[in-house]
Structure 1
Amino acid sequence: MPFIHTQVHRDTPQAQRQGIVDGIHQALIDAIGMPQDELFNRVSAYAPGDFFYSRSFNGMARSDKLVVVEITMRRGRSDAMKRDLYARIARNLKANAGVAPDDVFIFTHENDYSDWSVGGGKFAMALVQQPGPT
């Protein structure tokens, strides 16, 4: 179950925020086989003076509306799967929310089941995953 933290410029309209969340979610489904009902994405907004970054690092042409996608997920995805995931996120954000690919900054944190409790204060390794209603 990936947990996503997405940071957007505070002037990002709600409809665009929803398009960003939807684009990330669909990329996770398509690239790593995440179940449809595993949507956990916390969106935070930053003000212009709260986030400093290079507009040209690594040859990119970033605007003042950078979207940062932080993905925490269980270990085990190959580099090829992550490469596909990153490409899909950038494509989906452009298509769904009009975000320029150079404005999409993605990074992951990986851990194990023992690092999660997904509800009820229960150790995630002790739970059998229960799919939600379809």
Structure 2
Amino acid sequence: MTHVSMRSGKPAAYRTAVLEGIHETLHASLGVHPETFFMTVSEHEDANFHVNTTFPFARSSDVLLVQITLTAGRSADDKQRFYQDLVVRLEKNPGVKPADVFINLIEVAGENWSAGNGLAGRSAALAADGSTAAGTAA
């Protein structure tokens, strides 16, 4: 589950490129299933968007606050690779400066997900394909 907060005013193509870039990087760098995209963007007027643009280094007013909830279990090295890969991808498209990508990962246990139908973890996906094996979400 991904949520991005940003200042108002960016075109739809920019917002879509941000979400697609995050999704592609989650899949490529952390092995998140390619069909698990549950993502939102919130746009905020200046009065409702306060971020430090000088600490710990300079950022522009185009900063993105990216918060991703995913199933626990990735190593610190995996996460570092994801951070690096994401800023490279977003710099290429839609042109976000690496310093403007502020990322927060929230890890939860697999049983803390319900993708629907009142089923925990990957049970909903497994039920849909007829499988009975246990697993985890994103």
TM-score, with structure 2 as normaliser: 0.86
Separation (CA, whole Å) in 1 of partners of 2:127 and 2:60: 40
Out of 87, 93, 98, the residue aligned to residue 95 of structure 2 is 98
C-alpha RMSD of the superposition:
1.6
CA deviations 1:5-56 (Å, max 9, x no partner) are: 1112111110000110111011101111112111111111111110112111
Out of 101, 110, 126, the residue aligned to residue 107 of structure 2 is 110
Match of 2:133 in 1: none
Match of 2:22 in 1: 24
Separation (CA, whole Å) in 1 of partners of 2:71 and 2:82: 15
Number of matched pairs: 128
Q: Matches of residues 1-134 of structure 1 in structure 2 within 5 Å?
A: 3-58=1-56, 60-124=57-121, 126-127=123-124, 128=126
CA deviations 1:40-84 (Å, max 9, x no partner) are: 1111111111011211111x2211111111010111000000001
Give unpaired runs (5+ residues) of structure 2: 130-138
Amino acid at match of 1:43: V
**Mean CA deviation greater in 14-23 or 33-42:** 33-42
State percent identity of aligned pairs.
30
Shift of 1:120: 1.3
Give unpaired runs (5+ residues) of structure 1: none
Separation (CA, whole Å) in 2 of partners of 1:78 and 1:129: 29
Shift of 1:129: 7.4
Dislocated runs of 4+, deviation >4 Å = none
Separation (CA, whole Å) in 2 of partners of 1:87 and 1:125: 28
User: Contact 2:7/2:49 (CA < 8 Å) preserved in 1?
Assistant: no
CA deviations 1:80-130 (Å, max 9, x no partner) are: 000011111111111111111111000111111111111112222644376
